[in-house]
Amino acid sequence: MKQGADINQKTELVVRKNRELAAILEVSRVLTASFDLEKNLSSTMSTLGSLLEMQRGCVFLLDRLSGELRIVAAHGLTKDNIERGKYRIGEGIVGRVLEKRSPMVIPNIGKEPLFLNRTGSRPEKDGISFLSVPIEFKGEALGVLSVDRIYSKKHGNVDDDLRVLTIVASLIAQFVRLWESYENVEKEKENLKIELKERYSIDNIIGKSDRMQEVFAAVHRVAPTKATVLLRGESGTGKEMIAKAIHYMSTRSKGPFIKFNCASIPEGLLESELFGHEKGAFTGAISSRKGKFELANKGTVFLDEVGDLPLTLQPKILRVLQEREFERVGGEKTIKVDVRIITATSRNLEGYVSQGKFREDLYYRLNVIPIFLPPLRDRGDDLPALIDYFLTKFNNEHDRSVNLDRGALQVLMNYEWPGNVRELENTVERLVIMSTADTITSSNLPDSLSIRRLKGLSRSVSLTTNIEEIERANIRDALEKTGWVQARAAKLLGITPRQIGYKMKKYGMEERD
């Protein structure tokens, strides 16, 4: 008889240990299923209730702002019970567990005056044991895990339950810390998206000229739609900024904005960069990798310099535009994506089509909504505001207080800016950094701004005008810009003071008109 009882006892012990291990394994599984705090913790408490036969259970987490312990998840409690379950640190059994950082066991809560039963979930308290353990991570108190238990021989003992609950509390602590990190990252992402949305708002793009107002009007009309947009214009006119404005003004603003310059990657790598590749697809492909289109799912892909796409790759781009699907390099699985495509080019696509360098069907698919960005030379009204913006920006960045006098400003206003806004930005930054004085005059400006192209000079005279008339007009223009100071005018023209004096005498310009 004794031998049979020992066997039964050992069997019950094995069964109980297996159930404990199964419970811990299931808790680990549910806590890593997602980053949904309440759902995962509620599943944890349900697991303890079903596998370990615990009547009620609660996860209390510390609210750092209020200093209260609040029930985040529970098993065997109603919604009203949960809302009433609040404790201060040191208050009741739960508050004391957090304060002391040590487990507590109440054999019979009906005979314990410290047990407050604040949730009101136990009308009959006699015979119920209450176990409570702290939830802490690297010495930091995060909350408390508590359960109700009615003991019998088959339920094991308190030490077994405390051991299991301590393990579960440790798993919960790790999950809560991960969840907090995840929430912080998500908040930072949301804040960054808000900042980007504000930064790339059309209202923040400088452009009072009629040409830019036309661009802004087009952006406002096209942004809320799903239409494919083709941005046309010279290099440096701000096509990427307009593409971002379209994205952040659209319903996809919370999705990713993935940019890719088609001219910056060797032709052999373009397909892998855009569509991704499978492991072993080519030498060096040691793992699978997503391409730009997959990374941009639910968002926008911006393909800059799309005119440089090789002919061999253009059919796959066309398929994405038409079907929103593709295969990775070396893969057979068809991947579906939900992306909006914005492209940009400084090339003459129509000429490329006629030369057979660009597919006609792809051209028409890209050219649904063309938006033309004007060069800076056609945006004279915007130049003062742009110069002022870049001066302020780079003064702040480099801790300077540089400004331009009227003569220097006039030179910048008269320059053609073949590199457009990008050239203007780089020029202003260089002036701010290299200037030895706080005020920049026309004599401090690089000769390239005067010699290379003076705005309007080449177009202010007809083709039949002779060389002497052009020279005379250039000298007079330079003198007007420098207040008829011959040395400055000479520097502006790239000649010596003696040469300009000779020229002035030659053309009868010795006195100011």
State the Cα–Cα distance between residues 263 and 307, nearest whole angstrom: 9
| Distant-in-sequence, close-in-space partners of 490: CB < 8 Å, separation ≥ 6 | 478, 496, 497, 499, 500
Q: Three-state SS for 342?
A: strand
Shared domain for 43 and 71, answered yes or no, is yes
- Does residue 207 have a pLDDT over 80? yes
| Distant-in-sequence, close-in-space partners of 417: CB < 8 Å, separation ≥ 6 | 375, 376, 377, 423, 424
Q: How many CB atoms lie within 10 A of CB 480?
A: 13
Domain-embedded: residue 71: yes
Length of the chain: 513
CATH (domain of 140): 3.30.450.40
Shared domain for 398 and 432, answered yes or no, is yes
Up-side HSE of residue 149: CA atoms within 13 Å toward CB?
25
Query: Are 179 and 142 spatial neighbours (Cβ–Cβ below 8 Å)?
Result: no
The residue ranges of DSSP E strands in 64-102, in sequence order, are 68-75, 86-88
State the Cα–Cα distance between residues 146 and 95, nearest whole angstrom: 11
Using 50, 70 and 90 to split pLDDT, how confident is the model at 465?
very low
Shared domain for 333 and 391, answered yes or no, is no
Choose among 191, 194, 329: nearest CA to 270.
Answer: 329
Shared domain for 355 and 386, answered yes or no, is no
Domain-embedded: residue 120: yes
pLDDT at 511: 57
Write the burial class of residue 498 (CB in 10 Å: 0-12 exposed, 13-18 middle, 19+ buried): exposed
Task: Give the chain's radius of gyration (CA, Å).
Answer: 37
Strand 257-261 relative to strand 300-304, pairing: parallel
137 φ/ψ angles, rounded to the nearest 5 degrees: -130, 115
Query: Are 172 and 147 spatial neighbours (Cβ–Cβ below 8 Å)?
Result: no
Query: Are 257 and 247 spatial neighbours (Cβ–Cβ below 8 Å)?
Result: yes
Q: What is the pLDDT of residues 379-413, one digit of tens each?
A: 988 999 999 999 999 999 999 999 999 888 888 98
pLDDT at 24: 87
Q: What is the pLDDT of residues 8-41, one digit of tens each?
A: 656 666 767 788 888 889 888 988 888 899 899 9
- Does residue 306 have a pLDDT over 90? yes
Q: Directed axis angle between helix 158-199 and helix 2-31, to 10°?
A: 10
Q: What average pLDDT score do residues 312-321 get?
A: 94
Provide, rounded to the nearest whole percent, the portion of the chain with pLDDT above 70: 85
Shared domain for 178 and 129, answered yes or no, is yes
Q: What is the pLDDT of residues 64-88, one digit of tens each?
A: 888 889 988 888 888 888 888 788 8
Shared domain for 119 and 37, answered yes or no, is yes
Domain-embedded: residue 189: no
pTM over 0.75: no
State the Cα–Cα distance between residues 328 and 326, nearest whole angstrom: 7
Shared domain for 169 and 41, answered yes or no, is yes
pLDDT at 4: 55
User: Which amino acid, one-letter code, is at 386?
Assistant: L
- Residues forming beta bridges with residue 289, ordered by sequence position: 277
Shared domain for 218 and 306, answered yes or no, is yes
Work out how many domains the chain is built from and give that number. Answer: 3
Shared domain for 369 and 387, answered yes or no, is no
Tokens, residue 77: 């409690």
State the Cα–Cα distance between residues 451 and 445, nearest whole angstrom: 11
Choose among 159, 343, 347: nearest CA to 259.
Answer: 343
Domain span at 146: 16-182
Q: What average pLDDT score do residues 305-316 get?
A: 93
CATH (domain of 501): 1.10.8.60
State the Cα–Cα distance between residues 406 and 456, nearest whole angstrom: 19
Domain-embedded: residue 193: no
User: Which amino acid, one-letter code, is at 133?
Assistant: V
DSSP assignments along 411-440, one per residue: HHHHB--TTHHHHHHHHHHHHHHH-SSSEE
Shared domain for 51 and 171, answered yes or no, is yes
Q: Three-state SS for 310?
A: coil
User: Which amino acid, one-letter code, is at 359?
Assistant: R
Tokens, residue 470: 């052009």
Choose among 401, 420, 276: nearest CA to 346.
Answer: 420
State the Cα–Cα distance between residues 71 and 29, nearest whole angstrom: 22
Q: What is the pLDDT of residues 350-364, one digit of tens each?
A: 999 999 999 999 999
Higher-pLDDT residue of 500 and 427 is: 427
Domain-embedded: residue 7: no
User: Which amino acid, one-letter code, is at 125?
Assistant: K
Shared domain for 166 and 262, answered yes or no, is no
CATH (domain of 332): 3.40.50.300
| Distant-in-sequence, close-in-space partners of 484: CB < 8 Å, separation ≥ 6 | 512
Shared domain for 368 and 383, answered yes or no, is no
pLDDT at 454: 44
Q: Which residues of 209-222 are buried (b: 16+ CB within 10 A; e: fewer)?
A: beebeebbebbeeb
Domain-embedded: residue 428: yes
Domain-embedded: residue 198: no
Average pLDDT across the chain, whole number? 83
Distance of CA 118 to the CA centre of its chain: 45
Choose among 97, 93, 84: nearest CA to 142.
Answer: 97
pLDDT at 94: 86
Domain-embedded: residue 303: yes
